[in-house]
Chains A and B, each alone.
Chain A
């Protein structure tokens, strides 16, 4: 079974631009979560989607948004990029919510210049 895939793997953007990251979960997984990982802040939860609905949201500004499609694929968008948005963005999928473990993709390395 294929793992979680994320595209693109690397991205360089300039301040003020916007970016869209994509995540394809493991087949059959209905829950998708997004995390931001930086050396200083560690792993921070962005949001979780289940059945095309946002179920949870972390403490990030409204510039960060996401969505989930009917096939469980998910995208996250960051508008008006800031230097501090440079990070590794990880997507994770799980079969369902609750007791199920998450499986992570390799991440998208975003660099904002």
Chain B
């Protein structure tokens, strides 16, 4: 069973508009959830994480993510997109009940057009 899914290969938004990149997960117990961003020819950069507590977590570069336990989702959001946000975004989950393994989604390419 896939532990984390990103249903959209690509998301297109206009600069200044809000953006959402979707992620759903499937692990036992309480998950540790993460978002990463990858720019061309670079490694992944950590954006934010949810461990426990407030369902809305804030991260780097104005990004935030909302944890929804009932929908098993952890969508990444930003109120106003920038062209420089264009990159590949990965959702990840640490499965504490499966030897602490990290599972990454397939990635979503975000295109922000001027």
Binding site for B on A (CB under 8 A): 4, 33, 35, 42-43, 45, 48, 55-56, 90, 92, 97-99, 101-107
Contact = CB atoms under 8 A, between A and B. Distances in A.
A84 B90 CA distance: 23
B94 A98 contact: yes
B46 interface: yes
The binding surface of chain A is classed by DSSP as: strand
Contacts, number: 54
Given A98-B32, A98-B96, A104 B43 contact: yes
B35 to A, nearest CB: 10
A66 B78 CA distance: 38
B24 to A, nearest CB: 16
Contacts of B106: 42
Interface in B78-114: 90, 94, 96, 99-107
B46 A43 contact: no
The binding surface of chain B is classed by DSSP as: strand
A110 B46 CA distance: 24
A35 B106 CA distance: 13
Contacts of A104: 36, 43-46
B104 A42 contact: yes
A101 B43 contact: no
Nearest to B98: A56
B14 interface: no
A42 B107 contact: yes
A27 B59 CA distance: 23
A102 B34 CA distance: 9
The list of the 4 closest CB pairs from A to B, nearest first, reads: A104-B43, A104-B44, A43-B104, A101-B46
A101 B34 contact: yes
A105 B99 CA distance: 23
Contacts of A98: 32, 94, 96, 100
A102 B90 CA distance: 13
